Amino acid sequence: MESVAKQKLLALNGDEAVAYAAKQSDVDVAAAYPVTPQTIIVERFSEYVANGEVDTEFVCVESEHSAMTACITASATGARTFTATAAPGLALMHEMLYVASGCRAPVVMTVVNRALSAPINIHCDHSDSMSERDSGWIQIYAENSQEAYDSMIQAFRIAENPEILLPVMVCLDGFTLSHALENVHVLSDDIAKKFVGTRQFPRVTAHEGKDASFRLDPENPISIGPIAFPNYYFEIKRQQEEAMKNAPKIIQQVHEEYAQISGRHYGNGLLDAYCLEDAEIAIICLGSTAGTVKTVVNELRAEGVKAGLLRIRSFRPLPVEGIVKALEKVRAVAVMDRSLSFGGHGGPVFHEVHHALYDTPVHPYIVNYIYGLGGRDTSPSHIRKIYEDLQGILQTQRVEDPVRYVRLRG
């Protein structure tokens, strides 16, 4: 843990922590557009550029659609690329998110989670990134600003790994993390830069069967983003799924390697369990809510209640086996969703956890809580109520209403 001592402790909000990580990651091209609440990321990064603290070409584009576009083509040209966005911006990028993963452009993007319009609302929920869960991007959700910083540094290594070569979204909760000041341990520039390394390019077959590196290089021209008809499209999409399947192993490796230099672990990098080994009742959630849940778990444990938490860090790819294993001994589970899948049965995290368990012998009572939409605060008392509900379910041995809403009027 030699390098742990070398870390500085800085007071940063989530946005600043992300910008700091981007500064240390030898980003070649950043293209971004100001959308609250991620705007601070772009502002801080612009300052780094203005002060010569980074060697980055910063493109201040005219829209989020162009931000993602410029990142894709810069990435294809050989640059390490970074951008940041939030709800409406992410929605505007939607088309290009699929293009990024389809072109196998390892773009790293911070999503500062926030509600989608209408009504317009700048505060936190997960509607934005959950709407993009099928876009072929890896999605990592951070619990706090420290993890947002750490995840950013790891993200470039994951995205650019030739076995993956997929874009990565690092998600952090709007305002709750993005605008809240926190003590954040940061690596020295040298160590961070060394960890991230320089981008490696896989070899591909180019014109006339020539061997070329996978980038736009006039010496070995390749065409990227062609039209593929029914005779080829399907295989290309299947390859993306194969890359996704390679991702859990690499995410864990990078996470472990990072832990060696930072001293910080987040479970196994995919799932982060808290007091779950002997838990009878558990909550599953993403993001900053986990911090609140841990507080309540501590209180309940002091009272002798066997409560636990499973935080999903990697939602894409979803560590299905890990979830099943983690819930083996749990008798009642509450899945918390900070977004709605209108007309579906509960929220997306609930769907996926439920589905993961179906073909297994692991069948705890399971209930869904939709919470915190549009930034509605969820305090320890609300979390405690959920655990009490789970205790009630164990008593009655039945789930009356599987989809519930936290702190909602009438």
Partner 1 sequence: MFSEWKFTAKDIAEKADLFMSGHRACAGCAAATVMRLVLKAVRGPIIATSATGCMEVVSSIYPYTSWATPWIHTAFENVAANASGIEAALKILKKKGRIKQQRIDVIAFAGDGGTYDIGIQALSGAVERGHDFLYVLYDNEAYMNTGIQRSGGTPHGASTTTSPAGTVIPGKVQYKKPIADIMVAHDMPYVATASPHYWRDLITKARKGIEVDGPAFLHTFAPCPRGWRSDPSKSIEISRIAVETCIFPLWEAINGEYQLSAPSKVIALRPERKKPVREYLKMQGRFRHLFTPKFEKIIDEIQQLTDKRWQRLLKKCGIV
Question: d(Cα 18, Cα 226) in Å, to the nearest integer?
Answer: 34
Question: d(Cα 153, Cα 26) in Å, to the nearest integer?
Answer: 10
Given candidates 19, 22, 29, 370, which one binds partner 1 under the rule CB under 8 A? Answer: 29
Residues in binding contact with partner 1, number by CB under 8 A: 45
Find the binding residues for partner 1 in span 250-309 (CB under 8 A).
none
Asked if residue 320 binds partner 1 (CB under 8 A), the reply is no
The minimum distance between CB 107 and partner 1, in angstroms, equals 10
Phi, psi of 132 (to 5 degrees): -110, 15
Where does this chain touch partner 1 (CB under 8 A) — which range of 96-104, 110-118, 183-191, 393-401? 96-104
E strand or H helix at 367, and its extent? Answer: strand 365-370
The minimum distance between CB 159 and partner 1, in angstroms, equals 16
Instruction: Output DSSP code: residue 2.
Output: G
Structure tokens at 91: 């929605």
The minimum distance between CB 79 and partner 1, in angstroms, equals 4
Per DSSP, the three-state class of 123 is: coil
Find the binding residues for partner 1 in span 61-80 (CB under 8 A).
61-63, 65-66, 69-79
Per DSSP, the three-state class of 285 is: strand
Given candidates 56, 176, 289, 292, which one binds partner 1 under the rule CB under 8 A? Answer: 56
Residue 328, number of CB atoms within 10 A of its CB: 11
Phi, psi of 134 (to 5 degrees): -105, 15
Find the binding residues for partner 1 in span 203-232 (CB under 8 A).
207, 216-219, 221-229, 232
The minimum distance between CB 62 and partner 1, in angstroms, equals 3
Find the binding residues for partner 1 in span 152-211 (CB under 8 A).
207
Beta bridge partners of 272: 311
Cβ closer to partner 1: 11 or 228? 228
The minimum distance between CB 26 and partner 1, in angstroms, equals 9
Write out the DSSP string of 161-210: -TTT---EEEEEETTTTTTSEEEEEE--HHHHHHHH------EEE-GGG-
Residues in contact with partner 1 by the rule CB under 8 A: 28-29, 31, 55-57, 59-63, 65-66, 69-79, 81, 95-96, 99, 103, 207, 216-219, 221-229, 232, 236
